Amino acid sequence: MEARKPKGPRPKMQAMERQALRELILEHPLSTAGELVKLLRARTGTSVSVPTLVKAIKTEGIVRVKPPSVSGYVQPTPDGPPRYGYNERHRDVGDHERYATSLTQAEWDMVADIFDDAGERGRPAVHARRAIVDACFYVVRTGCSWRLMPKTFPPWNAVYKLFRRWSRQGRFERMHDRLRLRWRERVERDEFPSTAILDSQSTRTSPQGGEKGFDAGKRVKGRKRNLVVDTLGLVLAVVVTAASVQDRDGAYPAMAQACAKYPTISRVFVDSAYAGTCAERLEASHGIAVQVVRHPGNRNIGRWQAEQLPLFDASTRAYATLPKRWIVERSHAWLERARRLVMHHDRLVEVSESWVWLSEARRLLRGLTEK
């Protein structure tokens, strides 16, 4: 007697799809079921619903494990990663004729042509352009008020007037882009990056007027700095908005600016705040792959785990280094070395963006001229 064939349609999850699903879970253990559906469709061409995928995952013996909550700071162990900090080569003692923030002759030679006004209409310059640039570097590093600049610099109103003009002309951004290119050549990287990292940081504002808002998640009243950096931590785009603007809303202009300047970007790493509709919109509008990097201790999502898979050892440390995301976090930390960027003192967000380009350009200048 012949065996009777099972009734109903042929199941979509066959052996090949199940094997592909296991491989995807090994590669992306922190992904959601919806993201696994998209990855499975891209790899096998099979389109399944989320309930069907979840049922197949349970059949394979894979479960979502959430790590225990960890609170408090744990002192790093001696066997852990090395600690980094300031040393003698980071300190510029300066000399009797210039401040530690002022440019050396080698540094000025690299960017002097950007601030050269020769050939422009109007009366000849009264103050040396190098002195104006040194004054701008002094203000961004020390965070002092324009009116309280040392008298060794040109008058503050002349410095501020040129600073605003150069900001509108994009000269500070052009200076940074030139230095960024030279740094990538120095470390033997391609001129245009293919991978970017996106993240934001909320910072307080001073009583000065201007655009501001309240970030309910970080409990900060001020502005939000959206950064797009490459894998070296060098800034590709910066957009400053009110802190009340959601991360997903600030991501669109920041990525549009980065992709317009660097069309070679094909992949961007983000955190879970940009997942879902925001990631889909970025992929559709710019044709880039958005990879969400989640924290291993995320108790809202958890982690896929089975006996056949590598077991997840819940970390006892409150801090975990996340792939690629730590790079943009380090860039935010670099910016806060400049005291002008610790708090927003300016009315215009365009001025806040110019300070970012100026601060990063100063750091690159010092690195490129070190012996």
Q: Return the pLDDT at 266.
A: 94
* Cβ(242)–Cβ(269) below 8 Å: no
CA-CA-CA-CA torsion sign (28, 34, 37, 41): negative
pLDDT in tens, the chain (371 residues): 555 655 656 667 788 888 888 888 888 888 888 889 888 888 888 888 888 888 888 888 888 887 766 555 555 566 666 666 656 655 555 555 678 899 988 999 999 999 987 667 777 788 899 999 999 999 999 999 999 999 999 999 999 999 999 999 999 999 999 999 999 999 999 999 999 999 999 999 988 888 899 999 889 999 999 999 999 999 999 999 999 999 999 999 999 999 999 999 999 999 988 998 999 999 999 999 999 888 776 767 777 776 655 544 545 455 566 778 889 999 999 999 999 999 999 999 999 999 999 999 999 999 998 75
- Taken in order 335, 337, 338, 344, is the CA torsion positive or negative? positive
pLDDT for residue 5: 58
291: exposed, middle or buried (Cβ count in 10 Å: 0-12, 13-18, 19+): middle
- Per DSSP (E only), the strands in the chain are 63-65, 195-204, 213-215, 220-229, 235-242, 267-270, 289-292, 303-305
> Tokens at residue 10, please?
């042929």
270: tokens are: 């983000």
Strands 235-242 and 220-229 come out as antiparallel
Dist. CA 50–CA 56, nearest whole Å: 10
Amino acid at 191: E
Q: What is the largest CA-CA distance in the chain?
A: 105
The predicted structure's pLDDT at residue 1:
52
| CA-to-CA separations, 270 to 67, 128, 198, 293, 319, in angstroms, rounded | 22, 43, 5, 6, 18
Q: What are phi and psi of 102, to 5 degrees?
A: -75, 155
Helices and strands, counts by H and E, the chain: 11, 8
The token duo for 317 is 């440390």
DSSP one-letter code for 205? B
* Burial category of 239 from C-beta neighbours within 10 Å (exposed 0-12, middle 13-18, buried 19 and up): buried
Euclidean distance between CA atoms 177 and 171, whole angstroms: 10
Q: Look at residues 232, 256, 255 and name the one whose alpha carbon lies nearest to residue 334.
A: 232
CB–CB of 166/358 below 8 Å?
no
